[in-house]
């Protein structure tokens, strides 16, 4: 259990099936505190389902999912898990299109989740300062008053990452952050994530090999719902099984 | 001490004895059919006893006029005309006829007439005597009716007559009823225990409410083994009856379920498969019903001989009319609203208002008379169940439509294209499927089926402009309950709701049963938001 | 605190609107009561009653907009809350009749005497007191909304599914209230009211007061909605409308927000119903009919959902059109209404307010609210 105890995320033997199709097949994965981990794998390997399980959207049929070494996540719902400190970015950028960039971030700010509490909430110097800081980090200060719907695709991705940061989570789950980004945006995103990884644990799911190489972190390869290989990108990319099932010859 | 109950028992006994004696007496004279005029004259006697005897003598004579005379006596239309003590009958028309021959009796002055008096006891005797007469009537239907009358009256005094009639009876059906009547009379009479036990078992085989009523009336005064046998028989009958009423509920429920299925199955396509909320679906059903009405009007006025075939014409026409309206609706409104289900809901509600008002303007606001073809009307009995043919046909029809639709979705190329468009529009388009056409046709199919449902519903429900409104919520409930996107779910959902409704009805009444079912579904979708036959998986969450 | 909340919520347009409402609630009754009937400026009792009715519908529309426009919950059963509020008021008015009923029973309303009932059912107790009735007007719709919403939102019933079950809810209630043994007058409902708080309902003064009360209730409802929608909680509601699961992953308990706003909305609808009943003089199960609920939804759409002015404008216009059509061209009303449903959804998705804004962008509601007008897709995913 010491592995579990020292981890920030711990998945053991997690299985999920949908109508007979095994989306996750006895998946086991350990993420250490402060670690950044890249997850790659072909379509249908179970990457998104794994995130669903961790964030409480999907309940596993069997297996153990623990956070921070002890907390069992399988009985909690999305909001409870989010409050524990697990933030998630969706594959498709999901921000509140009809609100400004600022408002988006302000809604994500940690604290104030109750109904009455948020009814009576007023922006404070502190919260404004924190918003400014976040805007700086995600490089959106210049468009702070703009509606989220007017942002470019890449900017929406950053805004969503910013909202994650505003939650002040311990772990960030980031699903395909650079899908559909231009090269320079991709590069900036990698920089942003590395910066974030300095004081957060981050799990990144990505297809883009150049981006993963850019991140330069430990890589886990998923296939058919379980772990195929683990190690640095250089190690896994010469792994026979990985080449066969994913990278191709 | 003599209690009232004992007293009445004694009196009943005495009366039976007298009656039996009289019957025997009557039997002795029965051979003399030619003695009818003489027997008749006894009716004019002053003595009560003599008149009693005369009634029986008349009955037993078997004379063709016997019944007329006795009926007249019972209805206080028999008079003695003086002078000459002629018996005359006052006819309905107000004239008089001779009791013996039935010939007109001519004008008789009022003061010369004296009514032949009856009292309760005599009237009872007359009833029985009439029963005897009809028990021996040459017409089996009349014999049957007579036996049934005796069964209902449970008259112990009828026993000897029944025995005689039974000995001569050849018709099986009449015989059964006579045996039952005899059993009833036996139970109410003074027969021995063995006879009574046998009678109980005869009655038990009837297995209906009449039997229970008779047995419990008997059980109230019986003692010992007889009482035990009676209550055991009642319990048995009640068990069987409960089974029958369960079966009845199931069948009525299936019949209601088929109506729901018919109304909902088109919706299962438009809502379930395409994801389009069509609040005008009920109006498609209504259009089908009005097509039936129109077809029948044309046939009635122009080709009355074809009336029995009206539904055969109505079904394809209703499909076409509703289907075309459906395609027009899809092309004209719904296609602009794909991906905006709430707006679709509102727009189609608007369409439903327009269709309702259009029909109201054309056909008027009142119910329209739609007839059943002769082969659909009437009913038949199955054990203790009374079933109407139209219910049965609707069950069969609904299942047929279901099977046809299922087969079409599954095995035709249109069905294949439809399913492929639903699963992956872009890919289907890339494969050369004209997705827009498929959308329109799918919608047309769903609406057309609603039209066919309207033909069926016109046979059992009022055809009015509001017809659709009364089915729309139920139909949605069925689809949601069964599981969206699953035809089997719709079938099971409709039948379950139909049967549940019918089982609740006896306890709660029709309206409350409906409310219960609605509340149940509201709670149910909270538990299983995707219905009974839910698809599971990541894709549908999206 | 309250001052701070109010100053945050109300801009000068809101103050303007409230001022107009106050003026209307003073001037119209004054024109009715003080100006002699022959005068050009006289407002008839009929007109006062009619406009009072419109104001009640406007409040109902506002309550629908609060959940639909701002939280994406399309209720097709809001008429149920309106009717429940109306019945609560109706029960008070029935008890006020006292022995002046046809049967002259001191306690039982006529229909109970007619049904041979011997005593008041327990749920009629207390309705002789206005205070109790006033509490019930809010509490009964609120409680129903709480129970219903608690189940529905917890199980994440959303989009059209929710719409359909809300419709089933009001349909079930309609069937139930049609039953005589429910104890609400069955088919005929509650009617033949005599007076309210001791004032005769026929008196011009009472009618004028009811009109003013409706206007004030609408104003209060507007302020309540503004307080909610301009708060952070309001932002959360909008966020739920636009991307429900994102809100959940941010750690908000979506079901609680939805439940809270649903209950508040139901209470507003109940108040609207309670003011409506004394002005029309009757409440019957027809008020529960699904068609009523959906009509008010279209009024919201006509005015422009997601704006608070929109539903008020929409409700008044649609009901004015209804009055005019049913008087002048009764056969055409349903055609017109049906056409309105289609036209608004196809050509005017942002409603009248949205249309005006596109020509005059500085219009008030241009706050956050109106950006909502673009149809959202989140509610649609099942």
Give me the residue label for tokens 């050009």. Answer: C40
B535 contacts in A (CB within 8 Å)? 19
- Give the pLDDT band of residue C365 (cuts 50, 70, 90): very low
Window from A85-89, B168-172, C83-87, C179-183 with minimum mean pLDDT: B168-172
List CB contacts of B38: < 8 A, sequence separation 6 or more. none
Closest chain A C-alpha to C67 CA, distance in angstroms: 15
Does residue B190 share a domain with residue B302?
A: no
Interface check A57 vs C, CB under 8 A: yes
Please give the mean pLDDT across all residues of chain C: 89
The candidate with the shortest Cα–Cα distance to A36, out of A221, A210, A197, A216, is: A197
Least-confidence region, from A183-197, B281-295, C180-194, C275-289: A183-197
- Of B228, B259, B275, the one marking the end of a domain is B228
Which residues in chain A touch residue C246, judged by CB atoms under 8 angstroms apart? 90, 94-96
Q: Do A167 and C251 touch (CB under 8 A)?
A: yes
Q: What is the mean pLDDT of residues A83-87?
A: 89
B30 part of a folded domain: yes
What percent of chain C has pLDDT above 90? 67
How sure is the predictor about B536, in pLDDT bands with cuts at 50, 70 and 90? very low
Q: Which residues contact A9 (CB under 8 A, 6 or more apart)?
A: A29, A30, A31, A54, A66, A67, A171, A201, A203
How many structural domains does chain B have?
A: 2
Position B430 scores a pLDDT of: 85
Q: Which helix (H) or strand (E) holds A23?
A: strand A21-31
Which residues 518-537 in chain B show a CB within 8 A of chain A?
Answer: 535-537
Q: According to the model, what pLDDT value does residue B3 have?
A: 57
Instruction: Write down the pLDDT at residue C157.
Output: 83
Instruction: Tell me what percent of the residues of chain A surpass a pLDDT of 90.
Output: 20
pLDDT at position C322 is 94
Residues B313 and B429 in one domain: yes
* CA-angle at B29, arms to B26 and B32, nearest 5°: 135
Q: Whole domain around residue B206: which residue ranges?
A: 19-228
Give dist(CA C227, CA C239) in Å, integer.
17
Q: Cβ contacts (< 8 Å) between A107 and chain C: which residues?
A: 232, 235-236, 239, 247, 250
Tell me which chain A residues have a C-beta less than 8 angstroms from the C-beta of B537: 18-19, 21
Neighbours of chain C (3+ CB pairs under 8 A): A, B
Interhelix angle for B435-458 vs B224-267, to 10°? 150
Q: If 0-12 CB within 10 Å is exposed, 13-18 middle and 19+ buried, where does residue C68 land? A: buried
Partners of B113 in the beta sheet?
A: B81
The answer, for A198 touching chain C at a CB cutoff of 8 Å, is no
Report if residue B6 sits inside a domain. no
Do B186 and B259 lie in a common domain?
no
Distances (CA, A) of A78 to A4, A24, A75, B121: 22, 19, 10, 87
pLDDT tens-digit series, residues C177-188: 998 888 999 999
Under the banding of pLDDT at 50, 70 and 90, the label for residue C146 is: very high
pLDDT tens per residue, range B401-411: 999 998 988 88
Whether residues C382 and B484 touch (CB distance < 8 A) is answered with: yes
Give the model's pLDDT for residue C313: 95
For residue C206, which of C214, C196, C216 has the smallest C-alpha distance? Answer: C196
- Are B195 and B258 contained in the same domain? no
Whether residue B222 is found in the same domain as residue B250: no
Q: Answer yes or no: are the C-beta atoms of C74 and C297 closer than 8 Å.
A: yes
Q: Are B357 and B208 found together in one domain?
A: no
- How confident is the prediction for chain B on average, in pLDDT? 81
Domain with B343 in it: what CATH number? 1.10.3470
Interface test with C, best of B274, B346, B471, B481 (most C CBs within 10 A): B346
B33 confidence band (pLDDT: 50, 70, 90): very low
Q: Are residues B285 and B150 in the same domain?
A: no
Query: In 3D, which of A224, A233, A215, A192 has the Cα closest to residue A41?
Result: A224
CA R_g for chain A: 18
Q: To 5 degrees, how large is the angle CA C61–CA C210–CA C143?
A: 50
Q: Test B526 with C340 for CB contact under 8 angstroms.
A: no
Last residue of a domain, one of B196, B228, B260: B228
Residue C344: predicted pLDDT: 93
| Chain B residues within an 8 Å CB radius of C157 | 525-526, 529
**Max alpha carbon distance in chain C (Å)?**
66
Other beta carbons within 10 angstroms of residue A117's beta carbon come to 12
What residues of chain A lie within 8 A of the CB of C8, using their CB? Answer: 122
Q: Name which of C1, C233, C251 is nearest A79 (Cβ-Cβ).
A: C251
Chains that touch B (3 or more CB pairs under 8 A): A, C
DSSP string, B428-480: HHHTT--HHHHHHHHHHHHHHHHHHHHHHHHTTS-BSTTTTHHHHHHHHHHHH
CA–CA dist B307, B316 (Å, integer): 16
pLDDT of residue B62: 66
Residues in chain A closer than 8 A to C250 (CB atoms): 82, 107-108, 163, 167
DSSP assignment letter at B36: H
Whole-angstrom Cα distance, residue B41 to residue B52?
12
How far apart CA C343 and CA C338 sit, in angstroms, is 9
Please check whether residues B269 and B221 belong to one and the same domain: no
CA dist C354 to C257, C307, C312, C361, C367, Å?
27, 9, 14, 9, 12
* Residue C140 confidence (pLDDT) above 80: yes
CB spacing of A167 vs C242 below 8 angstroms: no
- The mean predicted confidence, pLDDT, of chain A is 86
Q: Which of A119-133, B414-428, C266-280 has the lowest mean pLDDT?
A: B414-428
Report CA-CA distances (Å) from B102 to B91, B215, B395.
10, 44, 56
B255 shares a domain with B173: no
DSSP assignment letter at B39: H
Average pLDDT over residues C225-243: 94
Q: What is the pLDDT of residues C101-139, one digit of tens each?
A: 888 888 889 899 988 898 899 999 999 999 999 999 999
Contact C64, C265 (CB under 8 A): yes
Element of type H or E holding B20? helix B4-30
Q: Where are the domains of chain C?
A: 2-36+46-290
Chain-centre distance of CA B476, in angstroms? 29
Interchain pair B536, A49: CB under 8 A: no
> Among all residues of chain B, which has the CA nearest to that of C337?
B350
CB-CB: which of C160, C301, C380 is closest to B339?
C380
**Residue-wise burial string across A150-175, b where 16 or more C-beta atoms lie within 10 A, e elsewhere:** ebeebbbbbbbbbbbbbbebbbbbbb
CB-based contact C70:C306 (threshold 8 Å): yes
Both tokens of residue B377? 């009307």
pLDDT at C375: 39
CA distance A182 to A155: 11
B340 and B248 inside one domain: yes
Q: Where in chain C does DSSP place strands (E)?
A: 190-191, 195-196, 199-200, 282-283
Residues 50-89 of B with CB under 8 A from C: none
Q: Please name the chains neighbouring A, where neighbouring means 3+ C-beta pairs under 8 angstroms.
A: B, C
Interval B421-474: pLDDT, tens:
877 778 888 888 888 888 899 999 999 999 999 999 898 888 999 898 888 888
Pick the more confident residue, B354 or B82: B354
Q: Is the CB of residue A126 less than 8 Å away from at least one CB of chain C? A: no
Q: Which tens digit of pLDDT belongs to each residue from B34-84?
A: 577 877 778 777 777 788 788 877 776 667 777 788 888 888 888 888 777
Quote the pLDDT of residue C382.
30
Spatial CA neighbour of A62 closest among A11, A25, A15: A15
Chain B nearest-CA distance from C252, in A, is 20
What is the per-residue pLDDT across C338-353, written as a single tens digit (0 to 9) for each? 999 999 999 988 899 8
Query: Helix, strand, coil: what percent of chain A each, to 5?
Result: 40, 25, 35
Given pLDDT bands bounded at 50, 70 and 90, which one contains residue C265?
very high
Which stretch of A191-195, B512-516, C275-279, C294-298 has the lowest confidence by average pLDDT?
B512-516
Using a CB-CB cut-off of 8 Å, the residues of chain A touching B536 are 18-19
Q: At what angle do helices B120-135 and B4-30 cross, to 10 degrees?
A: 50
Nearest to B450 by CA among B312, B335, B283: B283
Are residues A110 and A168 in contact, defined by beta-carbon separation less than 8 angstroms?
yes
A54/A248 Cα distance (integer angstroms): 29
Give the integer Cα–Cα distance in Å for C359 and C107.
Answer: 60
Using one digit for the tens of pLDDT, what is the confidence trace for A44-54? Answer: 788 888 999 99
Peptide bond into B83 cis (omega under 30): yes
How large is the ipTM? 0.87
* Residues of chain B positioned with their CB less than 8 A from the CB of A57: 541
pLDDT at B172 over 90: no
C317 Cβ contact partners less than 8 Å away, ≥ 6 residues apart: C299, C302, C303, C352
**To the nearest whole angstrom, how far is the Cα of C352 from the nearest Cα of chain B?**
16
Q: Are B373 and B309 in contact (CB under 8 A)?
A: yes
Q: Given this model, what pLDDT does residue B12 score? A: 62
User: Do B215 and B287 lie in a common domain?
Assistant: no
B309-351 per-position pLDDT tens digit: 888 899 999 999 999 999 999 999 999 998 888 889 999 999 9
Contact C345 B350 (CB under 8 A): yes
* DSSP assignment letter at B493: H
Total number of residues shown for chain C: 382
For residues B139 and B288, membership in a common domain is answered with no
Predicted confidence at residue B134, as pLDDT, reads 75
Q: What is the pLDDT of residues A160-190, one digit of tens each?
A: 989 988 988 889 999 888 888 888 888 888 8
Listing from the earlier edge strand, what are the strands of the sheet with A201-205?
A86-89, A171-175, A201-205, A36-40, A218-223, A226-232
Q: What pLDDT was estimated at residue C377? A: 37
| Average pLDDT estimate for A83-112 | 88
């Amino acid at each position: 259990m010491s592995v579990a105890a020292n981890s920030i995320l711990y998945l053991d033997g997690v299985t999920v099936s949908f109508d007979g199709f095994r989306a996750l097949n006895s998946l086991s994965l350990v993420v250490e505190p402060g670690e950044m981990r890249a997850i790659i794998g072909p379509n249908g390997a179970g990457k998104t389902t794994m995130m669903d399980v961790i964030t409480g959207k999907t309940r596993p049929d069997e297996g153990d999912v623990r956070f921070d070494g002890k907390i069992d996540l399988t009985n909690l719902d999305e909001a409870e898990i989010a409050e524990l400190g697990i933030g998630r970015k969706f594959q498709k950028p999901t921000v509140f299109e009809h609100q400004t960039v600022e408002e988006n971030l302000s809604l994500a700010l940690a604290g104030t989740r109750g109904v009455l509490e948020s009814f009576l909430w007023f922006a404070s110097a502190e919260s404004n300062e924190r918003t400014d800081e976040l805007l700086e980090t995600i490089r959106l200060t210049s468009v702070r008053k703009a509606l989220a719907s007017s942002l470019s695709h890449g900017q929406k991705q950053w805004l969503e990452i910013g909202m994650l940061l505003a939650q002040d989570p311990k772990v960030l789950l980031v699903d395909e952050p650079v899908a559909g980004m231009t090269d320079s945006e991709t590069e900036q995103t990698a920089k942003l994530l590395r910066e974030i990884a300095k004081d957060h644990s981050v799990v990144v799911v990505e297809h883009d090999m150049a981006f993963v190489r850019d991140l330069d972190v430990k890589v886990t390869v998923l296939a058919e719902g379980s772990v195929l290989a683990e190690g640095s990108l250089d190690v896994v990319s010469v792994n026979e099984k990985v080449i066969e099932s994913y990278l191709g010859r | 001490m003599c209690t009232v109950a004992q007293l009445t028992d004694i009196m009943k006994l005495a009366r039976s004895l007298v009656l039996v004696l009289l019957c025997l007496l009557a039997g002795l004279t029965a051979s003399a059919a030619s003695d009818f005029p003489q027997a008749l004259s006894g009716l004019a006697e002053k003595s009560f006893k003599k008149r009693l005897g005369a009634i029986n003598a008349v009955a037993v004579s078997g004379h063709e006029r016997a019944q007329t005379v006795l009926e007249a006596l019972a209805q206080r239309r028999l008079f003695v005309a003086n002078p000459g003590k002629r018996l005359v009958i006052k006819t309905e028309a107000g004239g008089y006829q001779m009791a013996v021959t039935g010939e007109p009796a001519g004008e008789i002055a009022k003061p010369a007439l004296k009514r032949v008096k009856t009292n309760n006891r005599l009237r009872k005797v007359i009833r029985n005597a009439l029963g005897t007469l009809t028990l021996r009537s040459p017409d089996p239907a009349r014999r049957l009716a007579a036996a049934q009358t005796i069964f209902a009256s449970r008259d112990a005094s009828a026993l000897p007559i029944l025995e005689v009639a039974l000995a001569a009876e050849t018709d099986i059906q009449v015989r059964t009823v006579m045996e039952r009547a005899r059993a009833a009379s036996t139970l109410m009479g003074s027969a021995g225990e063995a006879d009574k036990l046998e009678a109980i078992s005869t009655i038990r085989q009837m297995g209906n409410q009449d039997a229970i009523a008779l047995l419990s009336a008997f059980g109230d005064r019986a003692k010992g083994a007889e009482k035990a046998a009676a209550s055991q028989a009642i319990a048995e009958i009640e068990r069987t009856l409960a089974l029958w009423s369960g079966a009845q509920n199931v069948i009525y429920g299936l019949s209601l379920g088929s109506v729901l299925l018919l109304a909902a199955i088109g919706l299962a396509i438009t809502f379930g498969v395409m994801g389009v909320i069509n609040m005008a679906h009920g109006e498609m059903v209504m259009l089908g019903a009005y097509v039936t009405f129109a077809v029948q009007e044309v046939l009635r006025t122009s080709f009355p001989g074809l009336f029995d075939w009206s539904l055969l014409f109505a079904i394809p026409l209703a499909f076409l009319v509703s289907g075309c309206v459906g395609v027009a609706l899809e092309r004209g409104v719904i296609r602009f609203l794909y991906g905006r289900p709430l707006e679709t809901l509102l727009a189609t509600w608007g369409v439903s208002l327009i269709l309702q008002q259009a029909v109201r303007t054309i056909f008027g606001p009142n119910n329209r008379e739609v007839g059943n073809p002769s082969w659909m009307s009437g009913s038949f009995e199955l054990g203790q169940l009374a079933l109407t043919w139209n219910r049965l046909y609707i069950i069969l029809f609904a299942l047929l439509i279901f099977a046809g639709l299922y087969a079409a979705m599954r095995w035709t190329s249109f069905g294949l294209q439809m399913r492929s468009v639903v699963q992956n529009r872009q890919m289907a388009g890339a494969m050369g499927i004209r997705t827009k056409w498929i959308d329109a046709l799918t919608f047309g199919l769903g609406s057309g089926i609603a039209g066919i449902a309207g033909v069926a519903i016109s046979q059992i429900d009022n055809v009015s402009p509001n017809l659709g409104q009364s089915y729309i919520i139920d139909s949605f409930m069925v689809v949601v309950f069964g599981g969206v996107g699953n035809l089997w779910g719709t079938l099971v959902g409709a039948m379950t709701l139909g049967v549940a409704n019918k089982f609740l009805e006896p306890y709660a009444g029709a309206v409350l049963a409906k409310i219960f079912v609605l509340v149940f579904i509201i709670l149910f979708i909270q538990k299983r938001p995707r219905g009974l036959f839910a698809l599971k998986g990541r894709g549908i969450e999206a | 605190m309250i001052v701070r909340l109010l100053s945050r919520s109300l801009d000068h347009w809101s103050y303007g609107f409230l001022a107009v409402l106050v003026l209307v609630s003073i001037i119209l009754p004054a024109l009715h009561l003080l100006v002699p009937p022959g005068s050009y400026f006289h407002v008839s009792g009929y007109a006062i009653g009619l406009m009072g009715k419109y104001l009640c519908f406007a409040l109902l529309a506002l309550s629908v907009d609060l959940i639909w426009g701002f939280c994406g919950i399309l209720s097709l059963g809001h008429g149920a809350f309106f009717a429940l509020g109306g019945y609560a008021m109706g029960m008070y008015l029935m008890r006020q009749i006292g022995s002046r009923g046809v049967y002259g029973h001191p306690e039982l309303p006529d229909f109970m005497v007619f049904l041979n009932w011997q005593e008041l059912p327990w749920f009629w107790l207390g309705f002789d007191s206005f205070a109790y009735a006033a509490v019930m007007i809010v509490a009964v719709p609120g409680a129903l909304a709480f129970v219903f919403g608690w189940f529905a939102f917890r199980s994440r019933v959303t989009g059209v599914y929710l719409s359909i079950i809300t419709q089933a809810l009001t349909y079930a209630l309609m069937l139930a209230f049609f039953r005589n043994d429910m104890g609400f007058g069955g088919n005929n409902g509650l009617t033949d009211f005599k007076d309210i708080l001791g004032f005769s309902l026929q008196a011009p003064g009472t009618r004028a007061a009811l009109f003013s009360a409706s206007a004030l209730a609408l104003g209060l409802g507007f302020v309540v909605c503004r307080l909610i929608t301009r708060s952070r909680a309001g932002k959360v509601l909008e966020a739920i409308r636009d991307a429900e699961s994102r809100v959940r992953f941010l750690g908000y308990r979506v079901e609680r927000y939805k439940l809270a706003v649903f209950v508040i909305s139901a209470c507003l609808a109940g108040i609207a119903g309670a003011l409506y009943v004394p002005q029309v003089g009757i409440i019957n199960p027809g008020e529960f009919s699904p068609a009523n609920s959906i009509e008010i939804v279209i009024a919201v759409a006509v005015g422009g959902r997601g704006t608070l002015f929109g539903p008020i404008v929409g409700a008044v216009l649609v009901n004015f059109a209804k009055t005019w059509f049913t008087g002048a061209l009764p056969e055409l009303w349903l055609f017109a209404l049906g056409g309105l449903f289609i036209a608004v959804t196809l050509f005017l998705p942002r409603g009248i307010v949205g249309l005006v804004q596109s020509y005059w962008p500085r219009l008030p509601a241009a706050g956050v609210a109106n950006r909502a007008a673009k149809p959202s897709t989140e509610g649609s995913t099942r």
